[in-house]
Amino acid sequence: MSYEELMLRAITKADAFKYTAKPNPVVGAILEKDGEIISEGYHKLFGHRHAEINALRSAEKLKNIKFNSFSELTLICTLEPCSHIGKTGSCADAIVKSGIKRVIIGSVDPSSKVSGKGIEILRKNNIEVEVGMHQDLVAKQNRFFFYRHKNNMPFITVKIASSLDGKSHYKNNERVFISSKESREDVQLLRAEYDAILTGTNTFLNDNPRMNARVNFQVNQPEKILLSTSLGVIKNTDRIPFFQGGRVTHIGTNLLERVLPILLENDKCSILVEAGPKLANAFLKAGYVNELIIYTSQKKLGQNGVDWFKENNAIENYGFKLESSYKINTDLKEIFKRNE
Ligand code: AOF
Ligand code: ZN
């Protein structure tokens, strides 16, 4: 296999771990000799060993069987090997120590902890380094991670479920399921992709949500964030579904510029806002939203419903354009992107 084929293989196989590696990026590493794979490694679980270390460890077992010295091998890795001593040690240092002499890298790591320092360590130790092979694919598969580190901002998506007549819920807060069961299942998948789910007082009180990702595969559950000034200290949390399973953060301010730094804590890159019209519009108005996802059902709520948006053309006026749309049962799912 060529280096390019190996890079594409590493990118593809790394992607399978996107629900368990997050908020870390997915990363793949392959060691090759004369076009043949000697070993492969992937970053499978947040906090666990990095891809390069896994590849090095597997190769170690084949030394003197498939090769005699690591200097015979080329390392192909999707992301720049890390330079920091993080949870599991520096990959760049481990590569140097192994005796590898050639490394092909997909993309530079955009995080300030690394960003070029890993490559520098390799080059300083006389390792031949090539950077940029399929870097766009690597950035795309880690779009939240790249966005967060390039902009020092979280990637924020607002998700709403709307009736056909543009309403969110009934004025008297009578409980109503607007979208179909299938759409609600789709939302579970969406939740599984994000590092945190954010909601506000009204949704918290009226819907009593669990706000976790209920999917039938392993997932690093998103942190739950409650934005509320009115609730004060919440007691008896062991009886509230929202507080069960996974980390919960209660933020006692509605000033969004004060909220942003808190959204970046604990390595978080992406936030899914699942809130009512007030909070959703506040995020949109502040210009903090990257993506807007709307599930629209065939149901109408009529005069007793509360509008999602005040104006007719609100989505376009907020600076969004439609990127794609899908039918889910009788609902319509639309994804809007911010005009860049
Ligand atoms: C690599 N190989 O497989 C991954 C890397 O908290 P830690 O120690 O796990 O470090 C996480 C950071 O390491 C993450 O923010 C990113 O910069 C880099 N990810 N680097 O060399 C890997 N997953
Ligand atoms: Zn590393």
pLDDT 10s digits, 29-76: 999 999 999 999 999 999 999 999 999 999 999 999 999 999 999 999
Q: How far is the CA of 236 from the centre of ligand 2 (A)?
A: 41
Per-residue pLDDT tens over the stretch 115-130: 999 999 999 999 999 9
Distance of alpha carbon 13 from alpha carbon 32, whole angstroms: 16
Residue 203: what pLDDT? 84
Q: How far is the CA of 270 from the centre of ligand 1 (A)?
A: 17
> Does position 96 have pLDDT exceeding 80, yes or no?
yes
**Better-scored residue on pLDDT, 249 or 54:** 54
The model's pTM: 0.95
Average the pLDDT over 296-323 and give the result. Answer: 96
- Is 52 a known active-site residue? yes
Q: How far is the CA of 329 from the centre of ligand 2 (A)?
A: 43
Per-residue pLDDT tens over the stretch 252-282: 888 898 999 999 999 999 999 999 999 999 9
> Does position 84 have pLDDT exceeding 90, yes or no?
no
Residue closest to 125 by CA, chosen among 88, 86, 98, 89: 98
216 — pLDDT class (breaks 50, 70, 90): very high
Distance of alpha carbon 166 from alpha carbon 55, whole angstroms: 52
Residues 6+ apart with CB under 8 A from 197: 191, 211, 222, 223, 224, 225, 271, 272, 273, 274
Distance of alpha carbon 138 from alpha carbon 271, whole angstroms: 21
210 — pLDDT class (breaks 50, 70, 90): confident
Per-residue pLDDT tens over the stretch 162-186: 999 999 999 998 888 899 999 999 9
Per-residue pLDDT tens over the stretch 137-150: 999 999 999 999 99
Q: What angle do helix axes 91-98 and 117-124 make, rounded to 10 degrees?
A: 20
Residues 6+ apart with CB under 8 A from 305: 163, 165, 167, 168, 169, 170, 171
Q: What tokens does 240 get?
A: 């509230």
The answer to whether 5 touches 133, Cβ cutoff 8 Å, is: no
Q: Whole-number mean pLDDT of the chain?
A: 94
- Using most ligand atoms within 8 A of CB, pick from 13, 40, 50, 146 the residue to mutate for ligand 1: 50
Q: Is 222 helix (H, G, I), strand (E, B) or coil?
A: coil
Residue 235: what pLDDT? 77
With vertex at residue 16, the alpha carbon angle to CA 130 and CA 131, rounded to the nearest 5 degrees, is 10
User: Cis omega before residue 23 (within 30°)?
Assistant: yes
- How would you classify residue 261: left for phi > 0, otherwise alpha for psi between -120 and 50, otherwise beta? alpha
Q: Is the CB of 79 under 6 A from ligand 1?
A: yes
- How would you classify residue 228: left for phi > 0, otherwise alpha for psi between -120 and 50, otherwise beta? beta
Distance of alpha carbon 42 from alpha carbon 33, whole angstroms: 19
Q: Is the CB of 43 under 6 A from ligand 1?
A: yes
